[in-house]
Amino acid sequence: MRRLGVVSWISILAALGAWEAVARLNIVPTQLFPPLSKVLAALVQMVLSGELPRHYARTLARVVLGFSLGSTLGIAVGLAAAYRRLTYGTLYPLVALLYAVPAVAWIPLFMLWIGLGEGLPVAVVFMCSFPPMVYSTLTGARSAGEDLVRVAKTLGADDLQVVTTVLLPQALPHILSGLKVEAGMAWRSCFVTEMVAMSSGLGLLAMEAQSILRVDQILAVVMVLAASNYLFHWIFERLEVSLLTKWGVMG
């Protein structure tokens, strides 16, 4: 695992080095394809001016709030629906339909329903997280099988104990995998919403840079977005290993 991590970092550094070298050849005008060093200089300038931290804080708050609400409610609904056959049969087709709809497709409708306030990106991120987490939880919890549920009830388990000791352990790998994937989707959905409808955030910052032809600033924002996505993925990956080991799902 450590060797794989070293290889990954080497590949990233090689790609960054190639970026700098190719940009220095001036095959494409540096205004359109600036070298990495110029992008990093723009990043430092945006940080020191306070512009990037201010917009980043707004995006981070929106992502965390929308993702937390969508994921928590999605897991709860998924576990509840998996426990009742009638609820499962009713809810599963609806969730499958919502799952197929890109979260950004809700932006025009939410603009009319919610307006252009802070609720808009939070609602979009919520819709990015909620249906997939219901779907992942349902899929994992249903893999427990009705026989296992009946055995638990025979041994005296009540409804809450069945959910927490039978359904949740079965659903946990699916839930954690879903969290890793949907965390990145949450960032992307919020970013797009900010690009088209918000007066703050990383998305707006990128659009402002585009309006003055500052490709270096655009790429700096993209790098911050990519780093944030990677950080969230890394956190949930560590959480996945820790919880699955603790629950005995993996050794």
- pLDDT for res 148: 64
Q: Render pLDDT for 11-29 as a digit per residue (tens, 0 to 9).
A: 888 888 888 888 888 888 8
Share of the chain above pLDDT 90, in %: 41
Is the pLDDT assigned to residue 251 strictly greater than 50? no
The widest CA-to-CA distance across the chain, in whole angstroms, is 74
Phi, psi for 49 (deg, rounded to 5): -75, -15
Is the pLDDT assigned to residue 116 strictly greater than 60? yes
**Average pLDDT rounded to a whole number, residues 80-91:** 72
Phi, psi for 29 (deg, rounded to 5): -55, 135
- pLDDT for res 224: 96
Q: Render pLDDT for 28-69 as a digit per residue (tens, 0 to 9).
A: 888 888 999 999 999 999 999 999 999 999 999 999 999 999
The answer for residues whose C-beta is within 8 angstroms of residue 249's C-beta and 6 or more apart is 169, 172, 173
pTM of the entire structure? Answer: 0.85
- pLDDT for res 159: 65
The domain locations on the chain are: 38-246
* Dist CA 196 CA 60 (whole Å): 17
User: Architecture of domain 38-246 in CATH?
Assistant: Orthogonal Bundle (1.10)
**Average pLDDT rounded to a whole number, residues 199-214:** 93
Q: What is the mean pLDDT of the chain?
A: 85
CB-based burial of residue 220 (10 Å sphere; 0-12 exposed, 13-18 middle, 19+ buried)?
buried
Share of the chain above pLDDT 70, in %: 86
Is the pLDDT assigned to residue 153 strictly greater than 60? yes
In terms of pLDDT, which residue wins out, 129 or 168? 129
